[in-house]
Amino acid sequence: MNIPGEIFALMAALFWSIAVVIFRSLSKSISPFLINALKNTIALICFIILLLILKIPFWNNSFTNAEYMKFIISGFLGMGVADAVFIYALSKIGANRIAILNCFEPVVIYFLTLFFLSGNWLTGIETLGFIIVIISILIISYERDESDIPPRIKQQGLILQICAILFSSISMVMIKNILNNYQTEPDVILWIAVFRLFIGFLISWTIFLFLKDSKKLLKALKGQIVITKVISSSILGTFMALTCWIMGQAYIKKLALASIIGQTSLIFIMFFSWLFLREKITKTRIIASVFALIGVFLSNYFK
């Protein structure tokens, strides 16, 4: 049975949304930097098993030294630094604010692509879409929610998440041309993803072990509920979501749809964070979400 790439993209958004809500819940119990290190470790183990099942070699000789270096830097920035900053920001400002901000990522990726890869300029309707996305960010930034979160903490979290988006976007743009060359070879794209995750695994543990009281922070990792959340979020968020994203990229008929479908995670996260974390869904956040989704649609669908 051939599963459309759009289904894989939607499953990736769903799995990632569930994981984000669990990460947010976990961040109240253990260090966000420990969460990042553990999720990378568990996901890496899952991917190693998958490589063995699919009989994909652990090393791929198809790339040049310059391309391997790009993968290393990409893994460092994306799976190591960006994910750590993302989970830390998540612990500060909550899941639904993070979800709205994430719609800004296509904007950042576009301008980085234009700057580094000499991409095509936006059409009028794509420009309108990106402007609408930026408006959604401004709406959520100036929401009157002092009773829910201290302004200083909110500002800090917003800045951190924008930094995470920037690091993640750079990590993807720098290997974009390589991924495009293997768009119809999911085995190769899977290997690249695992290699980047391995680098992220090394970096995330390095960051955590250099923290003060890292041994003390490890002691918080106890109890069946905490361990179950760590394992489930790691499998869903990094292993399952990334695998489905790879399959979606390989088999989706209109690749721009991947960006649009990926942003449906905003809807899932808003709902799940309200249902399980009791985060507020205010009128302002609904308006910001609508603007963000419309903006992503306009900026991607007509490509």
pLDDT tens per residue, range 25-50: 999 899 999 999 999 999 999 999 99
Whose tokens are 């990460």? That residue is 23
Nearest to 90 by CA among 33, 157, 7, 144: 157
Please check the confidence at residue 272 and state whether its pLDDT lies above 80: yes
What are the φ/ψ torsions at residue 30 (nearest 5 degrees)? -130, 165
Whose tokens are 């309707």? That residue is 125
At 37 the pLDDT is 96
3-state SS assignment for residue 196: helix
At 9 the pLDDT is 83
At 297 the pLDDT is 79
Distance CA 267, CA 255 (A): 21
Question: pTM for this one?
Answer: 0.89
Cβ distance 279 to 100 under 8 Å?
no
What's the pLDDT tens digit per position in 217-236? 998 888 899 999 999 999 99
Distance CA 109, CA 117 (A): 11
Contacts of 108 (CB under 8 A, 6+ apart): 165, 166, 169
Higher pLDDT, 8 or 167: 167
Sequence-ordered alpha helix ranges (H) in 27-150: 32-54, 65-75, 83-93, 95-102, 105-117, 124-141
Please check the confidence at residue 254 and state whether its pLDDT lies above 70: no
Nearest to 29 by CA among 255, 219, 290, 234: 219
Distance CA 97, CA 157 (A): 9
Cβ distance 52 to 122 under 8 Å?
no
Distance CA 104, CA 237 (A): 20
What's the pLDDT tens digit per position in 141-170? 888 887 788 989 999 999 999 999 999 999
What's the pLDDT tens digit per position in 46-69? 999 999 999 999 999 989 999 999
At 256 the pLDDT is 57
Higher pLDDT, 181 or 272: 272
Classify residue 98 as exposed, middle or buried by CB count within 10 Å of its CB (0-12, 13-18, 19+).
buried
Distance CA 23, CA 165 (A): 17
At 269 the pLDDT is 92
Cβ distance 39 to 233 under 8 Å?
yes
Please check the confidence at residue 114 and state whether its pLDDT lies above 70: yes
